[in-house]
């Protein structure tokens, strides 16, 4: 079984009740964090995990809302760890990730210096192990396998989606994207897919051109549903709601996705959990190993 927890279901727009984009995936003994938006560590505490408990950080792309709390995550993992055996944090993301991580650590250079000077047991700065990829298998450790494929969030490029597989169960993290063939292929037969969505019919009415333009590189619930249907996904988990889902509106969002997707649809608040069991996805495409 793989467990998915929506840590932050918000977007770049600050919201009192929704943290920025981030999702937790627990597979076997591993805890994977996908993206680290605003407030991610508060939500991780709510999900009974922490920076030092993370097995790896996966980044779908380098938009600010998805990496807003990267510095806080790296520094917190560093200063709250008392295990000399804790390995460097694996970080997997698209090309550009290594530059963003090292620039982030540079931005915290004064802080790192203060703490190393003060605490004799902090003998090295935060340790990371960054891997950049746009396709293929990027992780195969203790029965957990992770594959990446390009998504289409143009003009933002490159962007990637992740497929996590464990013991016959599988979850795809699509990130921000419009429908595209490589996502269809990545998601084929998956037990669940976490997909970011925006309500284009509402956003398109706003007076600001800059806001309307975000419709160009996101999927609507109907489009996310169509992708999930084509790929034969078992459960469609919507997140990154724009505008934010208001209490009582969940059925409206679900109904839009249900016009194109015939199976289970999840719309939730921060900390919403979904269990994904082996064999939930359709066997039509039969790609699960
Ligand atoms: Zn984005
Ligand atoms: Zn985003």
Query: 261 CA to middle of ligand 1, Å?
Result: 23
**Residue where the block lists tokens 């982030």:** 104
Query: 240 CA to middle of ligand 1, Å?
Result: 10
| Residue 65 bears catalytic tag | yes
Global confidence as pTM: 0.95
Q: For each of the chain's 289 residues, which pLDDT tens digit applies?
A: 999 999 999 999 999 999 999 999 999 999 999 999 999 999 999 999 999 999 999 999 999 999 999 999 999 999 999 998 999 999 999 999 999 999 999 999 999 999 999 999 999 999 999 999 999 999 999 999 999 999 999 999 999 999 999 999 999 999 999 999 999 999 999 999 999 999 999 999 999 999 999 999 999 999 999 999 999 999 999 999 999 999 999 999 999 999 999 999 999 999 999 999 998 776 444 333 3
Query: 74 CA to middle of ligand 2, Å?
Result: 21
Query: 15 CA to middle of ligand 2, Å?
Result: 14
Residues 6+ apart with CB under 8 A from 55: 29, 30, 31, 32, 90
Query: 119 CA to middle of ligand 1, Å?
Result: 38
Residues 6+ apart with CB under 8 A from 107: 71
**Does residue 270 contact residue 230 with C-beta atoms inside 8 Å?**
no
Residues 6+ apart with CB under 8 A from 81: 52
> Where do the structural domains in the chain lie, given as residue ranges?
1-274
Query: 59 CA to middle of ligand 2, Å?
Result: 11
The CATH classification of domain 1-274, taken from the options 3.40.140.10, 3.60.15.10, 3.30.930.10, 3.30.460.80: 3.60.15.10
Given phi > 0 = left and psi -120 to 50 = alpha, else beta, which region is 156?
Answer: beta
Report how far residue 280's alpha carbon sits from residue 202's, in angstroms, rounded to the nearest whole number.
33
Query: 63 CA to middle of ligand 1, Å?
Result: 5
**Which candidate, 52, 53, 69, 73, places its Cα nearest to that of 10?**
69
State the pLDDT at residue 219. Answer: 95
Q: Which ligand is nearest to the CA of 151?
A: 1
Q: Which ligand is nearest to the CA of 177?
A: 1
State the pLDDT at residue 214. Answer: 92
| Exposed/middle/buried for residue 134 (C-beta within 10 Å: 0-12, 13-18, 19+) | middle
State the pLDDT at residue 282. Answer: 60
Catalytic entry in 65, 176, 184, 270: 65
Report how far residue 32's alpha carbon sits from residue 58's, in angstroms, rounded to the nearest whole number.
7
Query: 186 CA to middle of ligand 1, Å?
Result: 19
State the pLDDT at residue 289. Answer: 33
**Does residue 236 contact residue 173 with C-beta atoms inside 8 Å?**
no
**Residue where the block lists tokens 């293929």:** 136
Query: 97 CA to middle of ligand 1, Å?
Result: 14
């Amino acid at each position: 079984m793989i467990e998915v927890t929506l840590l932050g279901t918000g977007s770049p727009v600050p919201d009192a009740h929704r943290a920025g984009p981030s999702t937790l995936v627990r597979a076997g003994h591993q805890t994977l964090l996908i993206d680290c938006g605003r407030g991610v560590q508060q939500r991780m505490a709510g999900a009974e995990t922490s920076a030092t408990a993370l097995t790896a950080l996966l980044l779908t792309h380098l938009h600010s809302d998805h990496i807003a709390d990267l510095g806080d995550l790296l520094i917190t993992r560093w200063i709250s760890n008392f295990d000399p055996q804790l390995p460097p944090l694996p970080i997997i993301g698209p090309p550009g990730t290594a530059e963003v991580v090292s620039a982030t650590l540079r931005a915290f250079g004064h802080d790192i210096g203060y703490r190393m000077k003060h605490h004799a047991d902090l003998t090295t700065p935060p340790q990371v192990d960054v891997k950049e990829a746009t396709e293929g298998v990027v992780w195969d450790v203790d029965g957990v396998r992770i594959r990446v494929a390009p998504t289409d969030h143009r003009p933002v490029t490159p962007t990637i989606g992740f497929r996590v597989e464990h013991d016959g169960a599988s979850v795809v993290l699509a990130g921000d994207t419009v429908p595209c063939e490589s996502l269809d292929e990545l998601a084929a037969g998956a037990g669940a897919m976490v997909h970011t969505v925006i309500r284009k019919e509402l956003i398109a009415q706003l007076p600001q051109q800059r806001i309307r333009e975000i419709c160009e590189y996101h999927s609507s619930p109907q489009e996310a549903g169509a992708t999930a249907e084509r790929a034969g996904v078992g459960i469609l988990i919507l997140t990154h709601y724009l505008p934010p889902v208001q209490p009582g509106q969940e059925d409206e969002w679900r109904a839009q996705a249900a016009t194109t997707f015939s199976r289970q649809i999840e719309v939730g608040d921060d900390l919403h959990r979904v269990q994904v069991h082996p064999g939930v996805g359709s066997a039509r495409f039969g790609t699960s190993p």
